[in-house]
Structure 1
Amino acid sequence: MARMLVLLPLLILVGCGESDGVKRLTVTGTVTFQGKPLTDGGISFEDPTTGYAAASQFQDGAFQVQLPVGEYKVMIEPTMVEVPSRDGNSPPSQRPSVDLPRKYFSAATTDLKAKVADDSTNFAFDLKK
């Protein structure tokens, strides 16, 4: 019985690995807008050839995400904030907390890319108006 209790944690740790057998790298970086860190929002990576996608939140411009080696389109979205209606009777609307160009929101329109490899896991994205 004691032997089973020792082996159980080992089996749990082994079972927590990548179930698909794909090696993932820790990718880190920064997101700035016109040279200043974005305070909060989300960053998404999509590999158009494999369909693999991953996302992460960022704070003070810093992000970290696990990705397999590949070439990715990168999308950035600021946090949405609620805007009260002008008349006070209509439901509130939402708008981005930062006025980023919408081209960064979609894989179809973004020009941001990341080539993730063993020697390339840190990226800096400086968004322009």
Structure 2
Amino acid sequence: MRMYLLLFLSILSLGCGSSNGVQLGTVVGTVHYLDEPIPDGKIIFEVPGSRPAVGQIVHGEIVDVTTYEVGDGVPVGEAKIAIFGFDPKNDGDQGYMDMNRKSIIPTHYNNPSTSELVCTIKPEQNELEFELTK
């Protein structure tokens, strides 16, 4: 009986993750604009049929990409990407998701539908590099 209880608890724990059964891949990498690292920003990954993932850009490095829990990653699949780059000297009224901050990159990168940035997220660590131009 004890063995069945342990087996049941083990199976139950597999389904208790906060990813709701969605397979995730972790993301690390860099983001540059005109060959300079973006000092401060956000990156958004949109995979059709899944919740968007949001990460931070700190000194050009992509960190803490999150779908359900901090750092858990991006849903596996073809992702459209939006990138926001901010002037760290202009913190002012940041507003929701930093939307009131001054952008240092062209605004077409701020929308996954217009950025033309896409990548395939695999169920492992994904190393991405973005070199943004005007």
TM-score by length of 2: 0.67
| 1:34-69 deviation digits (Å, cap 9, x = unpaired) | 11110011000011x314311011101111320121
Which residue is 2:22 aligned to? Answer: 22
Which residue is 1:58 aligned to? Answer: 57
Q: Which amino acid aligns with 1:112?
A: L
What SS does the aligned partner of 1:96 have? Answer: coil
Q: Assess, with a 3 A threshold, how the Cα gap between structure 1 residues 19 and 106 changes in structure 2: closer, same or farther.
A: closer
Which residue is 2:41 aligned to? Answer: 41
Measured after TM superposition, the shift of residue 108 of structure 1 is: 2.2
Q: Assess, with a 3 A threshold, how the Cα gap between structure 1 residues 22 and 36 changes in structure 2: closer, same or farther.
A: same
What SS does the aligned partner of 1:21 have? Answer: coil
Q: From the CA coordinates, give the structure whose radius of gyration is larger.
A: 1
Which residue is 2:4 aligned to? Answer: none
Q: Assess, with a 3 A threshold, how the Cα gap between structure 1 residues 51 and 20 changes in structure 2: closer, same or farther.
A: closer
Measured after TM superposition, the shift of residue 119 of structure 1 is: 6.1
Number of matched residues? Answer: 106
Instruction: Find out whether 1:116 has 2:115 as its counterpart.
Output: no
> What 5-or-longer segments of structure 2 have no aligned partner?
1-8, 66-72, 94-99
> What 5-or-longer segments of structure 1 have no aligned partner?
1-9, 84-93
CA RMSD of aligned residues (A): 2.6
Structure with greater strand percent: 1
Q: Assess, with a 3 A threshold, how the Cα gap between structure 1 residues 39 and 52 changes in structure 2: closer, same or farther.
A: same
Whether the 8 Å contact between 2:84 and 2:103 is mirrored in structure 1 is: no
TM-score by length of 1: 0.69
Instruction: Find out whether 1:78 has 2:85 as its counterpart.
Output: yes
Once the two structures are aligned, what percentage of the paired residues are identical? 35
Q: Assess, with a 3 A threshold, how the Cα gap between structure 1 residues 95 and 20 changes in structure 2: closer, same or farther.
A: closer
